[in-house]
Chain A
Amino acid sequence: MRHRIAEFAVGLVFGLGLVISGMTDPGKVMGFLDVAGLWDPSLAFVMGGAVAVSFLAFAVARRRATAFLGGALHLPASRGIDRRLVAGSLLFGVGWGMAGFCPGPAIVSVGAGEPKAIAFVGAMLAGMAVFEWIERRKACTPPAALID
């Protein structure tokens, strides 16, 4: 239960950071992405501040075997740079540029009751579900290439 409260607090403070930084305003995000128009560099400052502080945390984590509360360190298993990574990221960027929403700020905006954010997150979950469905089908279908 103690851990659930900690995780809730993490989401809460992260969400607060997103609101304070203006990232829950799609206009601000698209203002950063609008290099040919009136350019709002704010997002660069947000990422700069976030990455700088996180860098210190990851530097500490690298030297540890466990988290400070004793649990395991679940760091992403590094795989190579593949087509999925690139294609997925390119696609994500298009969606991001279209509405100025990415997952975190969109969910926070749902909490604020924004109707378009609710529509976005609903569609996002649907997109994620499609991914899961495709992956599950791939796992169940024996690849023809193996029969050789």
Chain B
Amino acid sequence: MQIDWNHFAPWSALTGGILLGLTVAGFLLLNGRVLGVSGIVGGLLRPRGGDIAWRVALVLGLLAAPALHRLVVGAGPVPRMDANWAVVVLAGLLVGLGTRYGAGCTSGHGVCGLARLSPRSLVATLAFMGTGFATVFVIRHVLA
């Protein structure tokens, strides 16, 4: 195993991670909710009165984040999006379906679920990590 020293950035990773943790903490302790993005977005597709506005507000916040980042930190590195359009669309479909059936994603299960010591979330996280690793292996070392 070779470390990608050109891209490995432990300090910004930790800083960002801690920031994520602080927002999860704030959302939980102030609003009483778990910050699981797939669940928050998924709930927009089964609209129930009184249950939409807070979801929209949070998503708007996510959308506004890059602008804030540019203001505070400046332009970051250009994201690398090597997957072609067909793959991106298929991936989106699978993520949409998978996160709803699995009842969570990297934020819901991977961060919040593990943090609350949920066995369900541990299983879910191991599952999506597993296929995540396997899929990239196939794409980069079998198909390539």
Beta-carbon contacts under 8 Å, B58-75 to A: 58-69, 72-73
* Residue contact A21 to B17, C-beta cutoff 8 Å: yes
* Residue contact A67 to B32, C-beta cutoff 8 Å: yes
* Residue contact A103 to B107, C-beta cutoff 8 Å: yes
The majority secondary structure among interface residues of chain B is helix
Give Cα distance in the complex from A88 to B16, angstroms.
27
Residue of A nearest to B103 (CB): A85
Q: Which of B30, B87, B95 contacts A102 (CB 8 A)?
A: B95
- Known contacts: A39-B3, A42-B9, A89-B98. The answer to whether A47 contacts B93 by CB under 8 A is no
- Known contacts: A68-B29, A88-B103. The answer to whether A39 contacts B4 by CB under 8 A is yes
* Residue contact B89 to A119, C-beta cutoff 8 Å: yes
Contacts of B139 in A (CB 8 A): 97-98
Q: Interface extent on A, as a size class?
A: 35 or more
* Residue contact B112 to A49, C-beta cutoff 8 Å: no
13 further A-B pairs in the complex, CB-CB below 8 A; given A7-B61, A49-B13:
A10-B26, A11-B63, A14-B35, A16-B72, A41-B8, A51-B21, A52-B21, A54-B28, A67-B28, A89-B127, A95-B95, A125-B96, A127-B94
Beta-carbon contacts under 8 Å, A1-59 to B: 3-28, 30-31, 33-43, 45-58
Cβ proximity bits A61-84 to B, threshold 8 Å, 1 near / 0 not: 110001111011111101111001
Most buried by B among A3, A31, A53: A53
Contacts of A72 in B (CB 8 A): 32
**What are 11 inter-chain pairs, A to B, with CB distance below 8 A?**
A3-B54, A7-B31, A14-B107, A26-B82, A33-B132, A68-B30, A78-B118, A92-B98, A94-B135, A125-B96, A127-B100
Interface residues of B (CB under 8 A from A): 1-4, 6-10, 12-38, 41-42, 45-46, 53-54, 57-69, 72-73, 76-77, 79-83, 85, 87-107, 109-112, 114-120, 123-125, 127-137, 139-141
A140 within 8 A of B: no
